Structure 1
Amino acid sequence: MSEEIIQSELLEPEADTEPNLSQILTVQALSVLNDRSNSKGIIQLALHLTIIGCSGYLWSANFGNWSVAIPALVIYGFSMAAMFAPMHECVHRTAFANNRLNDSVAWFSGLLSFYNSTFFRRYHKWHHRYTRVPDKDPELSDLKPSNVGKYLLIISGLPWWWGKVVGHFQVATGQFKDFPFVPEAARAGVINSTRWQLGIYVSAIAISIVVGQPWFFLYWLLPLIVGQPILRFILLAEHTGCTLDANLLTNTRTTLTFWPMRFFMWNMSFHAEHHLYPSIPFHALPKAHQQLNKHFTHIEPGYMKVNWDIITNS
Structure 2
Amino acid sequence: MNNIQRPALDRSLYEPSHLWALAHFVYALALFFVPGYLSYQVALSELPLWAQIPAIALLTILAGYGLNLLGVIGHEGTHGNFVKNRRLSAVIGIFSASAVVSYMEMGFALSHWNHHRFTNQKDDPNVYPVENLKTWWSRLLMSRINYNLVYLKDTFSMAMGKIPAFKYKVAFTEADQILFARLNFLFAAMWIALYAAIFTIDWRAGVFVVALPTLAVKFIAACQIFIDHGGLDDDRLFRNSWSRTSPLMTILFFGANYHNEHHAYPGIPCYRLPQVHRILREKGVFEAVPVPVERGFFKSFKPLFQVYAPTAKGDDFDPFELPQAPASSDERGVPQAAAVAVGAVGSAR
Residue 277 of structure 1 pairs with residue 265 of structure 2: yes
Count how many residue pairs are aligned between Structure 1 and Structure 2.
Answer: 288
Q: Distance in 1 between matches of 2:133 and 2:145?
A: 20
Cα drift, residue 244 of structure 1:
4.8
TM-score, with length taken from structure 1: 0.76
TM-score, with length taken from structure 2: 0.69
Cα drift, residue 189 of structure 1:
2.7
Which of 222, 228, 232 aligns to 1:232? It is 222
Q: Distance in 1 between matches of 2:279 and 2:212?
A: 41
Q: Distance in 1 between matches of 2:260 and 2:209?
A: 34
Cα drift, residue 103 of structure 1:
2.5
Confirm or deny: 8 A CA contact 1:208 1:215 kept in the other structure. Answer: yes
Cα drift, residue 211 of structure 1:
6.4
Cα drift, residue 222 of structure 1:
2.7
User: What's the counterpart of residue 253 of structure 1?
Assistant: 242
User: What's the counterpart of residue 160 of structure 1?
Assistant: 144
Residue 220 of structure 1 pairs with residue 200 of structure 2: no
Deviations along 1:247-279, whole A, 9 cap, x unmatched? 222212212212x32122121121111111111
Aligned partner letter, 2:227 = A
Confirm or deny: 8 A CA contact 1:250 1:297 kept in the other structure. Answer: yes
Cα drift, residue 52 of structure 1:
2.1
User: What's the counterpart of residue 76 of structure 1?
Assistant: 63
Cα drift, residue 78 of structure 1:
2.4
Aligned partner letter, 1:311 = F
Confirm or deny: 8 A CA contact 2:256 2:270 kept in the other structure. Answer: yes
Deviations along 1:4-38, whole A, 9 cap, x unmatched? xxxxxxxxxxxxxx9788x4423xx3314223211
Q: What are the within-5 Å matches in structure 2 for residues 1-314 of structure 1?
A: 23-26=5-8, 29-65=9-45, 66-67=52-53, 68-99=55-86, 101-114=88-101, 115-134=103-122, 136-144=123-131, 147=134, 150-156=135-141, 158-165=142-149, 167-168=151-152, 171-172=155-156, 179-181=164-166, 185-186=174-175, 188-200=178-190, 203=193, 207=197, 213=203, 218-245=208-235, 247-258=236-247, 260-293=248-281, 294=286, 295-308=289-302, 310-311=304-305
Q: Distance in 2 between matches of 1:170 and 1:125?
A: 14
For the structure 1 residues 202 and 108, does the alpha-carbon distance in structure 2 shift closer, same or farther, using more than 3 Å as the test? Answer: closer
For the structure 1 residues 199 and 85, does the alpha-carbon distance in structure 2 shift closer, same or farther, using more than 3 Å as the test? Answer: closer
Confirm or deny: 8 A CA contact 2:198 2:205 kept in the other structure. Answer: yes
Q: Distance in 1 between matches of 2:17 and 2:200?
A: 43
Aligned partner letter, 1:112 = A
Confirm or deny: 8 A CA contact 1:55 1:72 kept in the other structure. Answer: yes
Deviations along 1:215-253, whole A, 9 cap, x unmatched? 6554333311123323333442111111353x2222122
SS state of the match for residue 142, structure 1? helix
Q: Distance in 1 between matches of 2:22 and 2:221?
A: 22
Unaligned 5+ segments in structure 1 are 1-17
Confirm or deny: 8 A CA contact 1:81 1:112 kept in the other structure. Answer: no
Unaligned 5+ segments in structure 2 are 46-51, 309-349
Cα drift, residue 204 of structure 1:
5.1
CA-atom RMSD in angstroms? 3.5
SS state of the match for residue 223, structure 2? helix
Confirm or deny: 8 A CA contact 1:82 1:231 kept in the other structure. Answer: no
Q: Distance in 1 between matches of 2:297 and 2:225?
A: 9
For the structure 1 residues 209 and 263, does the alpha-carbon distance in structure 2 shift closer, same or farther, using more than 3 Å as the test? Answer: closer
For the structure 1 residues 236 and 312, does the alpha-carbon distance in structure 2 shift closer, same or farther, using more than 3 Å as the test? Answer: closer
Cα drift, residue 177 of structure 1:
9.4
Q: Distance in 1 between matches of 2:25 and 2:136?
A: 31
Aligned partner letter, 1:25 = P
SS state of the match for residue 228, structure 2? coil
Q: Distance in 2 between matches of 1:262 and 1:214?
A: 32
For the structure 1 residues 239 and 168, does the alpha-carbon distance in structure 2 shift closer, same or farther, using more than 3 Å as the test? Answer: same
SS state of the match for residue 165, structure 2? coil
Cα drift, residue 290 of structure 1:
1.5
Q: Distance in 2 between matches of 1:310 and 1:110?
A: 24
User: Which 10-residue stretch deviates more, 190-199 or 204-213?
Assistant: 204-213
